[in-house]
Amino acid sequence: MIFPKEYVARRARVLKALKGMVGVVFAGESTGELEATWRPHPHFEYLTGITNEPGAMVLFDPENPISTRREMLFLTSRDPEIEQWDGLRKSIGSELRQEIGMHSIFRTRSLPMILSEVAKRTKEFAVLMPTAGIKQPPSQDISLWNEVANRIPGCSVIDKSDLIPQLRNVKSPDEIKVIQKAVDCTAVGFANAMQFLRAGVNEYQVQATLEYGYAMAGGRGSAFPPIVGGGLNSTVLHYKENNQTLVDGDLVCIDSGARFSSYGADISRTVPVNGRFTSRQKEIYSIVLKAEEAAIKSVKPGVTLADLDAIARQIITKAGYGDYFIHSIGHHLGLETHDSCGPPGPLKKGAVITIEPGIYLPDEAIGIRIEDDIAVTASGYQNLSKAIPKSISAIEKVMA
């Protein structure tokens, strides 16, 4: 788990990086739909660890003369009737302050008054939330700062939207331990699924087997909707239906990962439905595996994902399948499956990435992707998912 002192340290880094500017991070609003599971914005969760307070926000005010108010948490007002339906909440007091690790906690109704005081003293506002596309509504903090600037002359709004992603780029030792636990839960689900697989079962039954394994190993559901694609479906990158019956002789591509303590795993394995690869399947699988292992062995601080992509792509292209490797090599992993880690750049110690080359041949109904979760160490890498079988012989042995 991530301990409160780590959240304190994260917020301290944000305060220092703001260099006197004021910033705010929003948890986001709940839709109130019974079928929906609310999660806070990852930036908010990264800085607070709070996962059950829709509408909350953190205000950073580095130059506040009262040191305990340089970071302030705002929570929506309590409503006993709503709490009867949605869950009990704690009152603001010493117990809540100690639990959260923040001294200054207010209700959101106090925000306008506090912002007026802050804006008169400090007229530089940082945009910390992700900026929106041209056709999308502005981010919440841009909208808020524009409202303030319209009322108090001389204010400026400054883009610092890469600040928190750059912090999230490097995982702490405790974060990597949590991701490793998510991977360990995933390993249980994959082992169960490989042993369950056979002709005549439905893709959704394989998904259910995966997710049951995650839960029994301590996971809290899937990090993203699992992909279980047999035959032609294995060539569809983000296949979603998972409703076809598996056929003897086909391959099935499984792309899934457990979630543990808000962090997720992301693993792909491609296995034969009947437990034995054909010679053609072995040929293509061996190319993908060679490309994946070459890219993994090249992971170290200073290389980029583009460098790793080129290494894997060269192997696949040389084998004659360059046009059938139709996606990039991987992405950062953490609170999000595609973790928000700032602009592409050299990998740093502590980064956690996926390596996932693939070859997709729709005319042959062969889609093969192999994916592992890799932590960047001081001198190289650690394969967090090495326990999940991926060689042809290991897969066939498990499935036997």
User: Based on the domain organization, do 153 and 214 belong to the same domain?
Assistant: no
Residues 115, 67 within the same domain: yes
Considering the domain architecture, whether residues 297 and 371 belong to the same structural domain is answered as yes
pLDDT at residue 256, as a whole number? 98
Last residue of a domain, one of 110, 133, 168: 168
**Shared domain check, 296 and 160:** no
CATH number at residue 114: 3.40.350.10
DSSP 336-381: SSS----S-----TT-EEEE--EEEEGGGTEEEE-BEEEEE-SSSE
Domain-terminating residue out of 168, 189, 209: 168
Distance CA 163, CA 343 (A): 11
The position carrying tokens 């596309």 is 133
Residue 301's pLDDT is what?
98
Full domain range(s) for residue 314: 170-399
| 219 CB-near residues (< 8 Å, 6+ apart) | 182, 185, 186, 189, 258, 259, 260
Same domain? 256 vs 343: yes
The rounded average pLDDT for each run of 10 residues, N- to C-terminus, in the chain (400 residues) is 93 97 95 80 97 96 95 95 88 92 95 92 94 89 91 91 96 98 98 97 98 97 97 97 97 98 98 98 98 98 98 98 98 96 93 98 98 97 98 97
Domain of residue 311, CATH code: 3.90.230.10
Distance of CA 76 to the CA centre of its chain: 26
- Are residues 311 and 385 located together in one domain of the fold? yes
> Domain total for the chain?
2
Per-residue pLDDT at 152 = 87
User: Are both 95 and 187 inside the same structural domain?
Assistant: no
What 3-state DSSP class applies to 72?
Answer: strand
Of 284, 309, 285, the residue nearest 295 (C-alpha): 309
Do 162 and 185 sit in the same domain of this protein? no
Q: Which helix (H) or strand (E) holds 268?
A: strand 267-272
CB atoms near residue 107 (< 10 Å): 12
Q: Are residues 131 and 276 in the same domain?
A: no
Same domain, 179 and 151: no
The pLDDT of residue 330: 97
Residues 201 and 153 in one domain: no
Q: Looking at the structure, tell me whether residues 134 and 175 fall in a common domain.
A: no
Residues 265, 286: Cα–Cα separation, whole Å: 24
Strand ranges of the sheet holding 352-355, from the earlier edge strand across to the other edge: 352-355, 372-376, 381-383
Q: How many Cβ atoms sit within 10 Å of the Cβ of residue 111?
A: 17
Helix (H) or strand (E) holding 394: helix 392-399
Show which of 141, 168, 195 is a domain's final residue.
Answer: 168
